[in-house]
Amino acid sequence: MQGKEKRVVSAGEYKDALGWVVDQFEKVLAGEKAGNVEESLSYAKSLLGKDVCQELMGEKK
């Protein structure tokens, strides 16, 4: 994509993000308030960007 900065996401960064999601679900199920959902959702979506995922999987043309 033109005009968009590409960045490589490490496996550790994915693991940390997924761990945060699991923690938030556990809090909600326990009746607690989850953390900053909007900010973290935006961050998770940026990690899961199509171009980044394709590069990690070796599918980028």
Task: Summarize pLDDT for 4-48 with one digit per residue, the tens.
Answer: 677 777 888 888 888 888 888 888 889 988 777 777 778 777 777
Residue 49 has which token pair? 């960007």
Q: Is the pLDDT of residue 1 over 60?
A: no
- CA–CA dist 59, 15 (Å, integer): 21
- CA–CA dist 20, 40 (Å, integer): 9
